[in-house]
Chains A and B, each alone.
Chain A
Amino acid sequence: MSNAKYYQFKPFNVGRLVVWGAFALLLIVAPLVFSSSLALTVLSQMGYTIIICLSYNILLGQGGMLSFGHAVYTGLGAFLAIHALNLVGAGKLPLPVSLVPLVGGIAGAAVAALLGWVTTKKGANTFAMITLGVGELVFAMSLMFPEFFGGEGGISSNRVVGKPFMGISYGPQIQVYYLIAVYCFICTGAMFALTRTPLGRMLNAVRDNPERVEFVGYNTQVVRYIAFIIAGFFAGIGGGLTALNFEIVTAESVSAVRSGGYLLFTFLGGAVFFFGPIIGAMLSVLALVLLSEMTKAWLIYLGVLFMVMVMFAPGGFSSLIMMNLRVAAFGKFRRLWASYAGLAATLLIWLVGAAAMVEMIYHLQLDAGSGDEVRFMGSTLNIQSRGTWFAAAAVFAVGYALFELVRRRFKQEWGTIQEEIEKELQRKGNA
């Protein structure tokens, strides 16, 4: 029976073992390959951002719930965790530091249980509006209760408390990284497992057609509510890890800006596939840590990227990858190489022109006090010289024209290939 493969759960499924093994290996090896302190910072942040974006995608991708207030759960998890850490430090709470993120998780789940029943009453727009309201409410509370939220300075702590256990004191960043990595692996596994359970599947059903779900025996609100609490739990763990990582939590961590960031990067990574948010989380840290170092105008680039993705690739980077893998699986990827190279080259020209202008405008408007010169890609641009502007505009225009030419050709090729694949699939289906 060919059906057998859908039935038996095979814990030693080879493909699955390889993927998860590679993931674990990557988490272990990454800090050995990228060993600078900056790299370690980036990797640590990636670890918990992956947990947070995946937890966000339980709502967005799995359940079709567009939340504008996910930072409430990560943030409150972080606050509870750092208070717990302070209690541990004061000797009032006998808890190993390794388990402090779990305090965040339980806090996240508890807050989600408290606020979730109202929030999940309806899906779609109502849900989005309520999360926005709850987010503002909690942020306002953060200013009203400085004892808990620490006011402007936030709450700080020290993770090196108690006696080192087997040499682990969490003093060195590398030890914190590996703690984050362990949490990241377990949480990712747990959230993937969730998608394979009755609740996980009914959550997909609620996303696709909440009305019909009510006619097959399920209360949609209960499905959403339980999923919301689970998402809150993992969000809280992520928050708890931020508390350990930075040893400080400020009111900003429950803000709408933070919530918007989780939404944006989960979307960029792609909500359709389980692994999409992992890509999104990695991008998020790269943008926040590296791009923001490279240019002050980084938010503009991020905004443009987001807009372009919403318009042209609403499935995010993960679905771009999956679409190309499909082409590759049918042995047609080689035909796209030339186009991809062309696209990359012309896009680069276009971007250089655009970025030069953006940087100059940014400098002119916000940074004019520091002189007329902008450092850009190893060269110096003078914002007073008309020639510089003209050159940038020319590069921009030429880049765009070339890109458009290549893009049209690519679009045609892509369409042909997709048609061929559809035909092959149909032939197989009929056979």
Chain B
Amino acid sequence: MSQGSVSTSGGWAIELDDVRKNFGKTEIIRGAKLQVKAGERVAIIGPNGAGKSTLFNLISGRFGLSSGQIRLHGERIDGLRPFEISRKGLARSFQVSNLFGKLSVFENIRCAVLWSQGYRYVFWKFLADLHDANDRAEEVLKMIKLDKKRDIAAVNLTYAEQRALEIGITIAGGASVVLLDEPTAGMSKSETSRFIQLIREVTVGKTLLTVEHDMGVVFGLADKIAVLVYGEVIAFDTPDAVRANPRVQEAYLGSVLAERQADQQAAGH
């Protein structure tokens, strides 16, 4: 391990230190800084193209950084590959459901459980004998309320069920830090509120970072809000403080509120 792995921070689950990412000449993430305490629920908001998904891709190792550092529980994880980061206890979900299509719901979850239960590349034991892994998979199935659909192939689930399975795969390995990329994208209002409740249940005691567009959800779910605008974190505070922050209002919330007003007016006419 590199020397950066020495723990220097006091209780930060995730630290982003001047993180930058270029795609060609375009700088998408421009010196993002963020420190999240263990157990905190953080929502990342920002206008389209602010780099929210890119930030998740950097943290989870899907993309490499151009410069800067990312630390997980004080240990540097920038430059590591996704599976290495996953083994250190950081899991992520995807904006577009990213499942094992032909495998059953149960198998999807079990695949996400195996490594964390220590089974790795084992080909000398039968899956059916791995009671701890199977029990854990069953438990997750119940948590995401898909235990009735356990034998259905993932591709044959409804959209909302696929979103639930996506979350299930993410949390199944018992990661302590969970990144959810727009978990409620494409859901109806009623589905969303039910789903937020589910997210709350399955991430109890975990550090949660989520990208979310629905402001109602954001203010209801998060302990803290990070506002990302043009690749920089311009505010990171409690929901009330962020709401009152003039810079945020100018850069982002103002436009959202204006949109909402326009919607209401349109509905009124």
Contacts and interface: CB of A to CB of B under 8 A. Distances in A.
Partners in one complex: yes
Interface stretch (B10-18, B78-86, B192-200): B78-86
Contact of B126 (A9, A204, A214, A226): A9
A197 B86 contact: no
A217 B100 contact: no
A216 B134 contact: no
Interface string A2-42: 01001111000000000000000000000000000000000
Nearest to B125: A197
B41 interface: no
Contacts of A366: none
Interface of A: 3, 6-9, 193-194, 196-202, 204-205, 207-209, 211-219, 222-223, 226, 230
Interface string B28-41: 00000000000000
Given A196-B128, A201-B107, A208-B100, A216 B169 contact: yes
B121 A198 contact: yes
Contact of B91 (A205, A213, A215, A226): A215
A209 B101 contact: yes
A222 B122 CA distance: 12
Contacts of B127: 196-198, 200-201
B222 to A, nearest CB: 23
Given A198-B122, A208-B102, A208-B103, A9 B129 contact: yes
Contacts of B92: 215
B151 to A, nearest CB: 9
B48 interface: no
A198 B103 contact: no
Interface stretch (B108-116, B208-216, B240-248, B255-263): B108-116
A6 B173 CA distance: 20
Contacts of B107: 201, 204
B176 to A, nearest CB: 14
Q: What range describes how many residues of B lie at the interface?
A: 35 or more
Given A208-B100, A212-B169, A196 B126 contact: yes
A207 B99 CA distance: 11
B100 A215 contact: no
B82 A9 contact: no
A205 B131 CA distance: 20
A199 B134 contact: no
22 contacts: A9-B128, A197-B122, A198-B121, A198-B130, A201-B103, A201-B127, A204-B103, A204-B107, A205-B100, A209-B99, A209-B101, A211-B98, A212-B94, A214-B81, A214-B82, A214-B86, A215-B60, A216-B83, A216-B172, A216-B173, A218-B121, A219-B83
B23 interface: no
B35 to A, nearest CB: 24
B86, B110, B123 — which one has the most chain A CB atoms within 10 A of its CB? B123
Given A7-B128, A201-B107, A218 B122 contact: no
Contacts of B86: 214-217
Contact of B120 (A194, A198, A212): A198
A214 B124 contact: no
B131 A198 contact: no
Contact of B111 (A7, A194, A201): A201
Given A6-B128, A214-B81, A214-B82, A194 B173 contact: no
Contact of B100 (A212, A214, A230): A212
